[in-house]
Each structure stands twice: as C-alpha cells, then as structure tokens.
C-alpha cells in the first residue's frame, strides 16, 4: 500500500519543502561551483529510471572538464578537485536531484540511477533494480556507498525493490545520514569515484 499509494506523495511533498528550505544553500553552491569548476556548476546526464525509461539527472558538478592534448577528458582523480571532494563527501552534489524527485523521475529512497550504458551489462535479476523509481539515496548507499562491490550493490538494490516499507525507508534515511556524517565509502578501493561496471562473467544478457 505504501509503495503504490503513499510513497510518491510523500516524496513530492518532502522534496518540494526541501527545495524551498535549501534554496539559499543551493544558490550559494551554484556560485561556488561556477568559480571552482570554471563555468557551468551543474552536471546533467541521461540515466535510466523506472522501467528503464531515460531521464536527465541533474547534480552539482564535482569534476572539471580538463582534457589532455588529444582532447580526451583526464582521469577522474585528476579532474576531481578539493571542492568536488567536499561535495561528494557531504553528498551536497545530490541536492539538485530534488528537482528530479518533484518531476517524478526519482524518489527519495530507491536504487541509485546509474549509467545508460550499463543496461546491456545487467543480468536478468539485476534489471529488476529498475522496477521502481531510482532514489536520491538507497539501501546500498546506506551500507557502503562506493566501497562495496557491484555484485553486492545490485543485490541490495534488487532486495529493496521487493521489500519497500515506510519504516524501511526511514531507516535507510537515518543510516544514510550516519554514513554521510562519517564520510565513509566515498570511493572504491581502485578508483577516485567508482570503478566502471563491465558486467559479470556468465551474467551479461
């Protein structure tokens, strides 16, 4: 009942209130972002949402657009400056996604929206992470963020889609606050952000 009837209403109302209350902070971050990123403070990218429908996710930019001599973007760890690290560690870069939630592209809690190119790399079970709206935070984010393996992350995502409850969402939000407060799981063990998902052996469609 909660997932089908009330979750969307609660998401819309809380996100609208959050956008109004946090608008001064977001304006301040827009100004800082324009300075530290030397231009557009926003990062907009297509992501798959519920039922794998594509939408445009909006975040604050955490990496600049520095390129090498061949015009290719430099590695993440080079383009991720101190301001970007601060945004990621505090999850402030996610604040513009409140707009996505209000529009209905996302929910407050749900599997995180990943890259479109990953769609062809999921196995049948992993595709079920798109049975619900993607979230500003999720079960996997509250239990390791980028420090856990892709396999564990997707297992948590799929588990969540089958066990959505109001109390469960509240617990995920509380756990997320604790993770952000500790600033843990920001990076994977092998990357400044999260290593690209290439599919798993004997699992790709």
pLDDT tens-digit map of 163-177:
999 999 999 999 998
pLDDT band at 203 (very low <50, low <70, confident <90, very high): very low
The full set of domain ranges for the chain reads 2-182
CA dihedral sign of residues 109, 113, 119, 121: negative
* Residue-level pLDDT at 75: 81
Mean pLDDT of the chain: 90
- Say if residues 59 and 65 touch (Cβ distance below 8 Å): no
Q: Highest-confidence range of 14-23, 32-41, 75-84, by mean pLDDT?
A: 14-23
pLDDT above 90 as % of the chain: 69
């Amino acid at each position: 009942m909660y997932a089908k009837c009330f979750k969307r209403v609660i998401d819309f109302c809380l996100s609208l209130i959050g956008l109004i209350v946090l608008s001064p902070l977001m304006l301040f971050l827009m100004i800082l972002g324009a300075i530290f990123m030397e231009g557009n403070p926003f990062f907009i990218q297509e992501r798959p949402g519920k039922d794998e429908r594509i939408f445009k996710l909006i975040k604050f930019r955490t990496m600049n657009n520095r390129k090498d001599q061949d015009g290719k973007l430099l590695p993440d760890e080079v383009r991720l400056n101190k301001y970007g690290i601060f945004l990621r560690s505090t999850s402030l870069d996610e604040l513009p996604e409140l707009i996505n939630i209000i529009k209905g592209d996302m929910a407050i809690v749900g599997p995180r929206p990943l890259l479109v190119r990953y769609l062809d790399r999921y196995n049948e079970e992993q595709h079920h992470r798109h049975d619900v709206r993607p979230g500003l935070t999720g079960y996997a984010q509250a239990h390791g963020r980028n420090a856990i393996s892709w396999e564990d992350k997707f297992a948590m995502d799929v588990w969540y889609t089958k066990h959505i409850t109001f109390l469960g969402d509240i617990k995920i939000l509380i756990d997320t606050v604790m993770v952000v407060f500790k600033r843990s799981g920001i990076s994977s063990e092998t990357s400044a952000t999260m290593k690209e998902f290439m599919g798993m052996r004997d699992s790709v469609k």
